Amino acid sequence: MRLTDADQVWCPVQESPDFLTLLRQGQRPPSKQEDFLRLQADLLERLVAESSEGEVAHANLRLDRDLPQEALNFLPSDLLTNPRTPKLLLLNPAVEGSPLHQWKVAWSHLRNPPLLPQPEARALAEQLSLEAYLSRLL
């Protein structure tokens, strides 16, 4: 992922990089799950925009293969080529027991986690790809 000088990386030490997200300059870290999921949807949108057509096509195949059908029913058929998909994927309820559901539940248990220092967090963010991001959720 390409970062700008204005990007502030928020990454808890305990679960890095599973909960890594980007904050706008001066933005407070997420305290509610909905805020966190909106930031994650923004991050996913950015990763899709930075990815090649082939990477997006591969990610779509992976979503189609690994997401429960119940989750796919609520997503556009063109998946990540549709700009609505990141928000729908992350803000809709996840299928109970799925990796996405477990990821959401794990975030809800974090309380004032210690954070990685900014240089380490930025290094992790720069290594983040669309494929690696989806590995958190699938």
CB 59 within 8 A of CB 80: yes
DSSP labels, 44-80? HHHHHHHS-HHHHHHHHHHHHHHS-HHHHTTS-TTGG
Q: Domain limits of the chain?
A: 8-137
Asked whether 8 and 98 are in contact (CB, 8 A), the reply is: no
Give the pairing of strands 8-10 and 21-23: antiparallel
Averages of pLDDT over runs of 10 residues in the chain (138 residues) are: 94 81 91 95 98 98 97 97 98 96 91 88 95 95
Q: What is the pLDDT of residue 17?
A: 75
* pLDDT computed for residue 37 by the predictor: 97
110 contacts 14 by C-beta, under 8 angstroms: yes
